[in-house]
Structure 1
Amino acid sequence: MPWWLPAALALTVVAAVVGGALLALGLAAPGFDFVGNLADAYLWRVVWFTVLQATLSTLLSVALAVPVARAMARRRFPGRGLLLRLFSLSLVIPTIVAIFGIAAVHGRTGWVNDALAFLGLGRADYLYGLTGILIAHVFFNMPIAARILLQAVEAVPPETWRVASQFGLKSRDLFRLIEWPAMRTVLPGAAGLVFMLCFTSFAVVLTLGGGPKATTLEVAVYQALRFDFDLGRAVTLALVQLLLCSVIVTAVLRLAVPSTTALTEGRIYERPDTGGRIGIAVDALALLVTIGLVVLPLAAVAVAGFNPTAAEVLTRATLWRATGQSLVIALSAASLALLLGGAILVTSRILRHRLARAGAAGRLELSASLILVVPPFVLATGLFVLLRPVADVFALGMPLVILVNALMALPFVVRFLGGPMMEEAQRHDRLCQSLGIAGWNRLRLIEWPGLRRPVGLALAVAATLSLGDLGVVALFGSQDFATLPLLLYRAMGGFRMSEAAVIAALLSLLCLVLFLVIEGGLGGLRRRDNV
């Protein structure tokens, strides 16, 4: 088999889905005029709010992540490891579940308002609109940015702290001369990632936007397709988002600062700024704010799930039918994403290691991430329109959801598997070529022990993301086809909060169990295989 064929087949699937969907929408839109539609004042109002909320969300997330990363880097306290694990949950927790937790804390009858009422200050309405969107985006993205910055600070050679102690550097000097330069190498990428996630946010804005004034491009596309069926406007909005996301990605790549690796003795030297009352107070404040923003919503989901309606909700046939459909979608989408991602990486590592074309390999891997700039329900609707003349599209709702979710999970699979596959190639490629070991035998006998854990992690993340997805199902959902996130969204929309609490707790538990079973099932046997 030619070395380029696996990636060519995978990218053909991606290009066929994306290109076919956009082309079908464009052809189905009567009198579609992209240039003429750009004069629509509604379009630019939506673009302005999309950029505004993404910019403010990014600034808040990064501004909070810097002191949090610094506090985590120089403090060792009980529960630090648990807090870091909770930071990781922001990547896989279903968006709609987190939104329920945020509403339970910040809503009209939430914990914050209960505390204000207890103090005699009255209840405040601040959750819905721009404020609620910012709170939710900080919940999701600040932990991600903090983990990235913390990793950069912890990569500082320990000898640097010894020299800093010898020169008697103060805390502000340590930040200016050591920590900030380390953070600066990863800050553009972290900020760009956060901006892209906020720019393409859907469920957060749909649920917490609170009205037409808080509409982003993603939500506007959904409204144009779901309620107005205005294909021309939907295609225009989708193309504008594609163009803006391309500009953002280009800017992030230009702002990136190359990192350097320094040799170290491997000893551990204590930082000279662990003492001092002001430093302790600042770090404690940063950690308390983090707990309030991240930990309380997660705790609210767990607490709210235990209520008198739990028994009645858990006995509904519709709930368990939705559970089964959610699991089928999650496992199928994750498997397809793993297949496509593995095909791209097989070709990429040949380009990188055998042909010494690292630039081409990098562009190939980047191409798998470009799918993130396309709204998922645009893809689903385009496929729906494309297949309508030749098939019963109402019977294809689940396959279409599986396909779109697999493409949305593809960048995460490439991200988690890319490094380990390149390491395995660097370690075994020449030996396998000399012995004539290739294909399935190479994977099974040589590389699988080292790839088992990364494969388990990639598959677990892809399955969990698909399990908690609301975007595509919100477009195709019906009485016969519903998932747990859609049931949760309907319950919250109908203000049936006790029912929503039970569904949210069940969905959280299901995501956790699915993640642990997949990751542990594939990665837990690694130690025995290495013996």
Structure 2
Amino acid sequence: MNLTTRNTTTDPIVRPAIGRWAAGAVVLWVTVFLVLPITVIITGSVAMDDVTRVLTQQSTWRLVWFSTWQAVLSVLVTFVISGPVTWLIGRHQFRGRRVLRAISTVGFLLPSVVVATAFLAVLPRSLHYTVFAVIVAHAYFNIAVVVRVVGARLELLEPQLAGVARTLGASPIVVMRTITWPLVRSAVSSAASVMFLYCFTSFAVVRVLGGPRRSTLESDIALRAFGIGDVGGATVLALVQLAYICVVVGIIRLLMRSDIAYVRAAPPVLPALPHQCRSIASVIASVTVVFVVTPLVALLWRSLHVRDRMSLEAWRSLFDTTLAESLRASARTALVAGVLGTLLCCIATLAVVHLRRGGRAIDALTLLTLAMSPVTVGLGLIITFDSGWFDWRDRWWFVAIAHTLVAFPLAVRVLVPAWRTTPVGLHHAAAVLGANGWRRLVDVDLRRMRPALVAALGLIIAVSLGEFGAASMLSRDGAETMPVAISRLLSRTGDVVRAQAFAMASLLVVVCTAALIVVESAMKRGDHAAGR
């Protein structure tokens, strides 16, 4: 007998007609701007000679090896740095806990090119363009993944399990090995998979901090495609990278999977921090805050320090020179990407919510863009839309389309849970009053969805402002975005030029932080409206 019951209070009314229309629009968009470009570069730009040439070159496997070991080492260093603060936040209640968690996630919310620029500002020159700088920057970027993923699982653990084990004589090590680790193992594997994906495909961090002598597969794809014109070789490397990521992430999940799921549906009341642990907790919190804040402070300091003296010259140049074009280009691109991406997210959410099997397929389809690196997406768009009336390579809004592809899967994850909280009773009441399906969609769903829509809009704008991979492929002179301009400035010599890069990166920190504060505030309002 099936004892599963359906929550008729909050489960949305399924309207297949609206769902099918929305699914068709999403499939069309993804097909035209993602599937078609990838198909074109595979079928039209790759010959067997390219495959043989690339796969038999020793440099290819050196790239794979470097990309692998720096990603693995970055993941391990991230766990070492973030482990203490994750345990502190996930297992104890104390004053300032939410503030510490917010600070620890700052790095992940910043554009990768800004993080790389910040470490150029804080590290001594002897450590510039070294593997150490790359790995530390990756760890800075990924602390938030461990805190949010593993910390969230730690919060759900039942405290009485460890207490009972200790009562029976188990040592702390035995409790960790037999109780805690099996329960958090799947969360650790999820965090490791995400971090490996980001570090293996790292582009901006390696390009800025690694120097010309170090390249990952991702940065070599860009070099082959636009540096030496080897599009076939770049495409082969992109396929090698995609296959390698799928295999490695699959192995990680297989080795670390756990069938144990004894966790609470809602977080229990966390125990207060023991008095004897407060000094250690203070050290952990202080080290974490210093590690996160110091690069950002150094970034601002270096933007104000020109020719060994304090000066606003770099900041004035942002608005008085051609750099102002980058500010306008980024703002324009982010706004267009935000509006277009939010509309696309609404359509995709309609399909996911109002179709059953088809909804799961659309949900999986939206994740397809996450599997493709932004550099590969940009390469495919340039090769596909390069002739006739759809030669859009020199159009500024073409960058916004690429940013929409990169960002909208993340925003869909914001809208779908919010949409599903709409009480069915509101739809029934509107139907009784004579509202048709489209009217209920506007007056019931979209009205309740306003906080989530604002959050999705802010998230897409923040991603667009900081996106570097696709923008580095598609931006043109006079319309380059801020991350591309920062990278260009850092590749030149001179105190004023580098100060300009630091000033623009500082401005990007402020703008992205403001956008993400809007996202967080909107999501909190949405949770309050939904009664969560």
TM-score normalised by the shorter chain: which range applies?
0.7 to 0.9
Matched, 1:236 2:250: no
Is residue 41–residue 380 contact of structure 2 (8 Å, CA) maintained in 1?
yes
Is residue 19–residue 353 contact of structure 2 (8 Å, CA) maintained in 1?
no
Matched, 1:262 2:264: yes
- Cα shift at 1:391: 3.9
Which position in structure 2 is the counterpart of 1:405? 403
CA deviations over 1:252-274 (Å, ceiling 9, x no partner): 5645446455378x974636x72
Is residue 341–residue 410 contact of structure 1 (8 Å, CA) maintained in 2?
yes
- Cα shift at 1:231: 1.0
Q: Aligned runs of 1:173-184 on 2, under 5 Å?
A: 175-176=176-177, 178-184=179-185
Matched, 1:349 2:353: yes
Which position in structure 1 is the counterpart of 2:59? 42
- Cα shift at 1:64: 3.0
387 and 32 in structure 1: CA distance in 2 versus 1, 3 angstrom threshold: farther
After TM superposition, the score normalised by the length of structure 2 is 0.83
Matched, 1:99 2:99: no
Which position in structure 2 is the counterpart of 1:120? none
490 and 14 in structure 1: CA distance in 2 versus 1, 3 angstrom threshold: same
161 and 437 in structure 1: CA distance in 2 versus 1, 3 angstrom threshold: farther
- Cα shift at 1:186: 1.4
After TM superposition, the score normalised by the length of structure 1 is 0.83
- Cα shift at 1:204: 0.7
More off after superposition, 291-300 vs 160-169: 160-169
Unaligned runs of 5+ in 1: 109-124
CA deviations over 1:298-326 (Å, ceiling 9, x no partner): 22223334440245324324233221210
Which position in structure 1 is the counterpart of 2:7? none
Matched, 1:19 2:21: no
Q: SS at the partner of 2:202?
A: coil
Is residue 456–residue 523 contact of structure 1 (8 Å, CA) maintained in 2?
no
- Cα shift at 1:79: 4.3
Amino acid of the structure 2 residue aligned with 1:508: V
More off after superposition, 84-93 vs 510-519: 510-519
CA RMSD across the alignment: 3.4
Amino acid of the structure 2 residue aligned with 1:243: A
Percent identity between the two aligned chains:
25
**288, 313, 316: which one pairs with 1:312?**
316
- Cα shift at 1:133: 1.4
Amino acid of the structure 1 residue aligned with 2:105: S
Amino acid of the structure 1 residue aligned with 2:195: V
Distance 1:442 1:85 in 2: 37
Q: Aligned runs of 1:312-331 on 2, under 5 Å?
A: 312-331=316-335
Which position in structure 2 is the counterpart of 1:303? 301
311 and 370 in structure 1: CA distance in 2 versus 1, 3 angstrom threshold: closer
Which position in structure 2 is the counterpart of 1:7? 23
Q: Aligned runs of 1:128-139 on 2, under 5 Å?
A: 128-139=129-140
Q: Aligned runs of 1:105-504 on 2, under 5 Å?
A: 105-108=122-125, 125-157=126-158, 160=161, 171-172=172-173, 175-176=176-177, 178-212=179-213, 214-251=214-251, 254=254, 255-257=256-258, 259-262=261-264, 268=269, 270=271, 274-276=274-276, 283-284=281-282, 286-307=284-305, 308=311, 309-352=313-356, 357=357, 361-391=359-389, 393=391, 396-424=394-422, 439-448=437-446, 450-495=448-493, 496-504=497-505
Distance 2:529 2:270 in 1: 35
Is residue 108–residue 143 contact of structure 2 (8 Å, CA) maintained in 1?
no
More off after superposition, 247-256 vs 311-320: 247-256
Is residue 396–residue 475 contact of structure 2 (8 Å, CA) maintained in 1?
no
CA deviations over 1:361-409 (Å, ceiling 9, x no partner): 4443232122122232332233222222214847634222111111110
Unaligned runs of 5+ in 2: 1-16, 306-310
CA deviations over 1:220-274 (Å, ceiling 9, x no partner): 110001110101101101111222233345445645446455378x974636x72
- Cα shift at 1:152: 1.2
Q: SS at the partner of 1:143?
A: helix
CA deviations over 1:440-494 (Å, ceiling 9, x no partner): 4333332345433332222211110111112222223343112222222222221
127 and 100 in structure 1: CA distance in 2 versus 1, 3 angstrom threshold: same
CA deviations over 1:401-446 (Å, ceiling 9, x no partner): 1111111102211222232223337776777778775644333332
Q: How many residues align?
A: 503
**75, 81, 89: which one pairs with 1:64?**
81
Is residue 456–residue 521 contact of structure 1 (8 Å, CA) maintained in 2?
yes
CA deviations over 1:10-52 (Å, ceiling 9, x no partner): 1232122223223333455374545413222222221121122
Q: SS at the partner of 2:449?
A: helix
Amino acid of the structure 1 residue aligned with 2:34: V
484 and 200 in structure 1: CA distance in 2 versus 1, 3 angstrom threshold: same
527 and 22 in structure 1: CA distance in 2 versus 1, 3 angstrom threshold: closer
